[in-house]
Amino acid sequence: MFQTVRFTTATTILLWVASSLTHAIAPAKTPDELIRNLVTAAQQGNSDDFLAGLTAGSRKAVIDSFSNQAVLREAQESFQQALDERFGKGGEVLDAAPNNLKSAVSRLAAAEVLEKKPGPGGAVQLRVRASFKRPDGKTETREDTLIALPEGGGWKLVLSFAPGDKLQSDSKAALERVTKQVKDGQFKDRTSAMVALANNLPGTRTTK
């Protein structure tokens, strides 16, 4: 019951924040200004202003994505609790839970528009070179093609989060499956359980 209430409250807060974002900053007058605004918001760690630069559909996708991360964090906590109850506290632990929105936004270090092409419905296709801070402290740079749309009296960026949502869903299922195995006593020690989880998580593989 406590976890359900906590998740519901967090989701409500996120949705409330998302509904008020259109008033956070003045709408960008050009696609170039939009990218500059997004970079400034990221550098300041201002997730509200960053999300205000996204289309309504993209803002909802971001909120949904991080709501799903809240569910994933609960699954991680349940797995950790099962390990502690079965093998005692003080052993190996999972990696840090998924980043919150502010820290995720703050990873964008810089961005510049390399090319603009007109698209259908008044959209503009942007070729953008962006630099991102990695968890290890290094910076990586890549080029992406993004779409900017006129919306709400200004320019907004289109983002998609479907692949990440699928990854989170698969990760949650793996955590729940291995957590049950821990509770059922299927592992001889904590390390075996951690290895089993690593082998079940999507996109990872650990040798025994």
Q: What is the CATH number of the domain that holds 180?
A: 3.10.450.50
| pLDDT score for 189 | 87
The answer as to whether 206 is a domain residue is no
146-171 per-position pLDDT tens digit:
999 999 999 999 975 544 556 677 88
Containing structural domain, residue 85: 2-200
> CA 145 → CA 41, 91, 115, 129, distances in Å?
20, 44, 9, 9
Domain membership of residue 208 (yes or no) is no
In a domain, 170, yes or no: yes
CB 145 within 8 A of CB 170: no
Please check whether residue 186 lies inside any domain of the structure.
yes
CA atoms within 13 A on the CB side of 59: 21
Band of residue 9 on the pLDDT scale cut at 50, 70, 90: very low
* Closest listed residue to residue 159, CA positions, set 48, 30, 50: 50
Inside any domain, residue 205? no
**pLDDT single digits (tens) 22-71:** 445 689 999 999 999 999 999 998 989 999 999 998 888 887 777 777 77
Do the domain assignments include residue 134?
yes
**Distance (Å, whole) CA 10 – CA 6:** 6
Domain total in the chain: 1
Residue 95, in any domain of the structure:
yes
Residue given tokens 């005692």 in the structure block: 88
pLDDT at 91 (0 to 100): 60
* Residue 207 is assigned to a structural domain of this protein: no
Confidence of residue 15 (pLDDT cuts 50, 70, 90): very low
